[in-house]
Structures are given as structure tokens and as C-alpha cells.
Structure 1
Amino acid sequence: MFTLSRRSPALLLALAGLVIAGCGDDDAGGSAASGADRIDVVATTTVLGDLVREVGGEAVDVTQILQPNSDAHDYEPRPDDVRDTAGAQVVVASGDNLDRWIGDVVEQSGSDAVTIDVSQQLKVRLPGESEGEEASKHDPHWWHDPRNTETAVEEIRDAFIKANPGARAVYERNAIAYIAKVKALDTGIAECFAAVPARERKLVTDHDAFGYFADRYDITVVGAVIPSQTTQAQPSAGEVAELVRTIEREDVKAVFPESSVNPKLAQAIAKQTGASAEYTLYGDSLGEEGSPGATYLGMEQANADAMVKGFTGGSGSCRVPGI
């Protein structure tokens, strides 16, 4: 369930005005809303946008709120988000407070869309933050375990079928094909890390976003530049000094910046400790079109490749056939 955050009266009035204006448009809801073969879907994050397009195919029109390399942790909804949501039949949210702002967007849009929080049915769960604005029972970075992504795809498929029964065959066929690719990705990444000695699989990232990935592939999380699951936290001087000592003590070979986080502190720590900082990970967001992390499958293969290279000093790599 989403909790609506507090907003200023001026913002609420402005958003309401946009919804009223949109309702007066002759094309409100779009042709997909009236046709039996397409539905309008809003996805909050880049990962969900990719999954929604894979499952929906030509039977969905997708509005993706977050854009590549953006940070869900500090996102503030725009009037356009409210307007786009007003005509949606389905809203797909990531959950665990990562995109907690979607509750405001749906509320202010006046939409009667079905909102699904894919985190509710996931099979693999890790503990979340215990305090702060983004405190949640579970770690919100669930997609870094492909088994959770399989579950999310099934949830999306079922929501689409319920909203648009006439396209059931499309959604079922697409979901089966995509889940097969996710399973192949999972198997391939596991094989890549099995070739790296366990003592070398030591991970230091920009923030604590890779717990699921590390847990799935038997990687030791040594620490994070921002010692939190949210990028909104700030490390203290003492925490940075302790991380430096840990990296040196554990002989960590690489510190991994993230595509959606300022890399300067990670690079400085790497320079101070003699570790590499040349391999970037995709944590909270997919990369731009044309980048290795432009899709979910590409993102996780790119992450595995970067980690293997970092762990092995560049002597190893990871390529999953067919991905």
C-alpha cells in the first residue's frame, strides 16, 4: 500500500488544475483506452518500464516516469506525470518506498487505474532500512535477483490480462519468452562468478543497492561509499575513513561507481586505497539507449561483466550467450 506524502496546497491545486484541463481534452485516455487490443500503462522506474514493454508488446502504450540514469530516491513528480497518469488503465510500481511518490501522482490525477506494487509478491526478500524517509521492511532493489524479476513479470502479465482480456494470448506469449531469457541470464551470470575464486568476490559500491545480487551469486559485500540503501544518505568522515581501512585490510581490488550517482567520492576512495574505479554499475536505473545497460537483461549482464573484471583485475569478463 502506498502512503501519500504531504504536499503544499499550491502544488495540489496546480496538479488538480492540470487534471481538469486534461479531462476536457477530446482525446483524453487516448485511442488505446477505447480499443480492446491496447491499454495505457504507467511504469514508475526504468526497470519496470522495460519489463512492461517486454510483456505488453504492441498491446500496451507505456509512459515511463523515471528516465535512464535518474535517481528514484530523490525524484520529485512533475505536472506531466499527473497528466499522463490520468488516462492510464494500469500503474506499475516498484514498491518498498523506492517510488513512494507514485501515491501522490495517482491521487492527484484522479485516475481509476489499477495500481500494482510488484514488491508485494516477491519470493526473495532482504531487510530494508530501519529509519529515515525511505525506511521499509524490505530492501527495495529486488530486481538484482533475477528470480524476483520473474515474479514481477508474472504479476505484470496478470494485471494486463485482467485489464485487457482480449490480449491475453499476447501477454502470456511475451511473458513466457521473456522469463526464459531471465532464467538464461541468471544461469549465465552464476557460471561467470563460479569461475572467480570466492576470496576475490569482494564488492564495494557507491551505495548499498546490490544486496540481492550479492546474495544470489555468493559475493561478499565489503562496504559502500554511502552506507545506506538510499542515495539520500551522506557518509560521515568517520565512515569514509573506516571504509578506506576495510578496503585496504580486505585487499579489495575495485570500488564500483554507479551510473546514477556522482562518482567523485568513490573515485577518491579508490585512488586513496589503490583500488580500481574504472568499472561502473547500473544500480537504481537502466542506462541510456545504446548503452550496455539500456535494458534489464543488458543491465545485469553489464553489472556481472564489470564485477568480474573488477574482481580479477581485468583478467576476466562475463558474457551470457543470447543476451
Structure 2
Amino acid sequence: MDELPLDQVYTLLAVVDEGTFDAAAAALHVTPSAVSQRIKALEQRTGRVLLMRSKPVRPTESGEVIVRFARQLALLEKDARTELGLAETGKSRQSSRLTIAVNADSLATWFLLAVRQVPQDPPICFELRREDEAHTTALLREGQVMAAVTSSPVPVAGCSVRPLGLARYLPVATPEFEQRYLAGQGLADGLREAPVIVFDRRDDLQDAFVRSLPGNKKQGAWGAGTLRHHVPTSEGFCDAIAAGLGWGLVPEPQALPLLRSGALSTLTTDHTVDVPLFWQQWKLDSPALAAVAGAVAETAARELLPAH
């Protein structure tokens, strides 16, 4: 295969980012026909279908490789222009754009503290994608993000990985909820019947916690109860528990103020859940990406528990 024409590569990226050929054409200031011709030419050159013509358009597995290459190339070009002193005129005045996948609990507790420490000379524009820590690596693999906070220590192809620490979760509920649903019986038995708060349908944290409790002989498919309230924000999740709708596992920094005030109580002091977090990023010699990685590692060392 010959070299990949950059106009075709960037056109593919525009189509994926904008979602349609027409929107990509508007962003690139060309006609939709020109966009279609460039994509067809790139597919012919690579001998692979690169896009699924859905709404919005989605890259195929081969297309993801090209998308990742395009994003890396754009970042390296921006860094090179900055080092050459060419970042003060025209389009080059635009800030570097870093796309990062972060789980909701990290966003609500410590990650923005890290972002605040990143130097803004030259400026960096952050595009944060909220995703469960068990699934952020998929966005890395697809080329949708350049870095991710993840629970996976296995590096995605073309990425490096470093441990950040442990995020501790405490099982909590209101005292009234605990008295109503859990008094007079074993914790495992009570939690299999009590209402529970979950983040979304992929959230297995509460179920795994119940299955891990001593004396849990009934290994049901759910672990926790079937009466579930889905609350897909970190702050809303905690608020739902404080409102007495159910019990759940809350990040320690969010739980401690409510425990001190008496609004919540811990269901057990013997069992917590520690989720290991890792930082994965593209293997690029990018000053902007390195600055973010350094700030994230420094903040995580201060805010998270040390890894075992």
C-alpha cells in the first residue's frame, strides 16, 4: 500500500467527528461530493471498508486505525507548530485539543483538580468523555480519545499504562433506610431484598459487593436486589441514597461529609470496595499530553489510596 494522502485521512476523521458526510463537508469547506470521493479513494487505497454508512457514521475496525492515526497526526502537528513558534497567527492560534475518557466518580471527586494544574501556555482545550472505568479502554481502541482513566492494567495497542491508585467506595444508606430494610437480619440477606441505587445497567459494583459478603450462600444472578433505581450521575447517585431511595456504594470523598453529619451511615465497617485506577495514553512524544499525564499522576497520588 502507498502512503496515506493526508487530505483523505483528515476527511475520514471529519466524517467520524461530524457524524455525516454533509456535516463533514461543511466543516472542511468542500462539497459533499468531494468528501464522498475522498473516502472512496481512501477505501480503495487501503482495500478496506472504513466507514459504516449509518446515522451517525461509525468507523469500522479498520477505520478506527485511520481515525487514531489522524488524531495522533493532528496533535503532533500542533505540537510541532508550537515548538517552531508558528502558533501565533491564523488557525494556529487555536488551542491544542485533548480528548480524555474519565469515569463519572473521578470527575466528581479528583480529576478536575488535576486538570486545573495543567499549564495553559500554550492553551489546551479539554474534551472529556464520561464513561465507566471498565469501558474507557474501548474509546482508546476506537481512536475516540487520546487518554483514559481506566480500571484495566492491560495497555491498549499503541498505548502506555501507569497505575494511579485505589478509589475506595463505602456501602451507605440513610439510618432510616437501614432500620426499615436491614434491621434484624444478616446484611447479605437484607441487601438481596432492599432497594438499591445503580449508575446504569452495566454497573456491577453493588452486585459484586453483595456477592462478596460473608454468609452469602444464595448466589443469585443479581447479587443485590431487583428493585433498582438507575441514576447516571455521580452527584445524583449520592443524592438518591441521601434521599432514602436505596443503598449504594459511594466514593469515600463524597460519603465522608454525609457520614459526619449523620445523613448517611455505613452498612458495614468490615467491607469496602477498592477499585484500582490506571492512566492509559497514546505513546506520543507530545508536550501537551505529557503535561496532562503528569498532573493526573500527581493529583491521583494525593487524592487516591496507594495501590497494594
TM-score by length of 2: 0.32
Q: Which has the larger radius of gyration?
A: 2
The structure with more strand, counted as a fraction of residues: 2
Highest RCO, 1 vs 2 (Cα 8 Å, sep ≥ 6): 2
